[in-house]
Amino acid sequence: MSTILIRLLLLLGALALPGALNAQSGSVSGPGSGESSGESSGESSGETGEPSLSLPDAVPDALFSGSRSRQVLMAQVLLDRSRHSPGVIDGFSGANTSRAIRHYRRAHHLPEGDGIDERLMRSLVETQGSEVFTRYTITQEDAAGPFETVPSGMVEMAEMERVGWNSPEEKLAERFHMAQSFLEALNPEADFGSAGTEIFVVERGDEEFSGELARIEVLKSENSVVALDAEGKVLASYPATIGSDQFPSPSGEMEVTAVAPEANYTFTPEGRDWGPDETLVIPPGPNNPVGGIWIDLSKEGYGIHGSPDPQLIGKTASHGCVRLTNWDARALAGAASQGIPVSFE
């Protein structure tokens, strides 16, 4: 990898931004620039000759004001592509990004730690490429909905046909593993409900494993879920909300008994001192209490599931189960099958 690229990433904190220099190909891609103009917006900076990059006109300069960092954003996108999930991609440093960095370092035999340094970024770029943003054209399906305000109460949710999306912004943010607030800040003038609208999104990772899942480890002290193959190689790691002091998650060995990618949520009041006093069946959908995704475990009442609030993963408590973002839960559910061992440690 070139010295220019390393300087670009680490000294300038620069990104392969839409409408700006792609550090590997030197191509330009962004609204108003043509599909691939072959031009370069990189310029020499001072006597060092180091390239400098600027945001395209369509992206507000204020996007990276305050504590949002270009370097953190790039690390989050590349970690997501490496299947070491940082949770929501938003450009802000935090516990979930630190967790992903630790797991990536272990998997790639880098020095322990949770910081972003030259060696980490070199490894991420070499294994995942340097692209961060891409363009996406909103389709008729994206814009069609249906969208409706999801009530907060379970009684009201149970009356819905499906607990779907509140808005097209929410739907698109989840598809691209982004915080909705970041998607909106990146595209301040976009009409997300209009088919044909071009927006900037991140080059997120896919949701398929590169190997066969053989074991799942729930690491309670780290608020992490780790997927391994038969030889113990880490296939993926995810931030997780794992129980609470009041409702602790179990310990020991279990196994997957079933996978429901379109799960409803059944609430029963027996034995609970929270929630309504009646049995309710809440229909499937990304905003039901389990995000519409459920991996059932052999201990009754426990499972690994999604969440309607991806920004809260790893930051709040659960009622004993294991919560992931919907996209991480979907990836794990897609690889899981009956009989896969699950250990709570």
Share of the chain above pLDDT 90, in %: 64
* Residue owning tokens 């029963």: 268
Mean pLDDT of 200-225: 93
What is the domain count for the chain?
1
- 78 is a domain residue: no
- 306 is a domain residue: yes
CATH code of residue 258: 2.40.440.10
At 329 the pLDDT is: 97
Q: How far apart are CA 283 and CA 326, in angstroms?
A: 16
Q: Where are the beta strands (DSSP E) in the chain?
A: 43-45, 50-52, 133-137, 198-202, 215-219, 224-228, 234-239, 241-242, 252-260, 265-267, 280-282, 294-297, 303-305, 322-323, 341-344
pLDDT band at 247 (very low <50, low <70, confident <90, very high): low
Q: Which two tokens stand for residue 236?
A: 């993926």
- 87 is a domain residue: no
C-beta of residue 169 within 8 angstroms of C-beta of residue 192: yes
Q: How do residues 122-180 score in pLDDT, each as one tens digit?
A: 999 999 988 888 899 999 999 998 999 999 899 999 999 999 999 999 999 999 999 99
- 43 is a domain residue: no
State the pTM of this model: 0.84
Pick the more confident residue, 26 or 166.
166
3-class state of residue 168 by DSSP = helix
At 161 the pLDDT is: 95
Q: How do residues 312-324 score in pLDDT, each as one tens digit?
A: 998 865 556 899 9
- 261 is a domain residue: yes
- Element counts in the chain: helices (H) and strands (E): 9, 15
Q: How far apart are CA 52 and CA 45, in angstroms?
A: 6
Contacts of 293 (CB under 8 A, 6+ apart): 260, 261, 262, 263, 305, 306, 326, 329, 330, 333
Q: How do residues 74-93 score in pLDDT, each as one tens digit?
A: 999 999 999 999 999 999 99
**Angle, to 10 degrees, between the axis of helix 326-335 and the axis of helix 168-175?**
50
Range of the domain at 318: 215-344
- 35 is a domain residue: no
Q: How far apart are CA 299 and CA 271, in angstroms?
A: 16
* Residue owning tokens 């074991």: 215
Pick the more confident residue, 146 or 27.
146
